[in-house]
């Protein structure tokens, strides 16, 4: 992802100790099923 420096791609991690997401950004563009309920959100649009 050299076109987007400073951006971290998020996918499926197989590490059980990896912390769960605590913030969603641009969730208005995500599919409904892609976001867990109860997640804080940040509207940057």
pLDDT in tens, 16-44: 888 877 776 776 777 777 666 776 666 66
pTM of model > 0.85: no
Give residue 7's domain range: 1-44
Q: What ranges in the chain are assigned the alpha helix state H?
A: none
Structure tokens at 15: 């590490």
Residue scoring higher pLDDT (25 or 5): 5
pLDDT of residue 4: 78
Q: What is the mean pLDDT of the chain?
A: 72
Q: What's the total number of domains in the chain?
A: 1
pLDDT of residue 8: 75
């Amino acid at each position: 992802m050299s076109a987007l420096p400073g951006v971290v791609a998020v996918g499926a991690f197989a590490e059980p100790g990896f912390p769960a997401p605590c913030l969603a950004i641009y969730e208005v563009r995500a599919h409904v099923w892609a976001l867990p309920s109860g997640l804080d959100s940040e509207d940057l649009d």
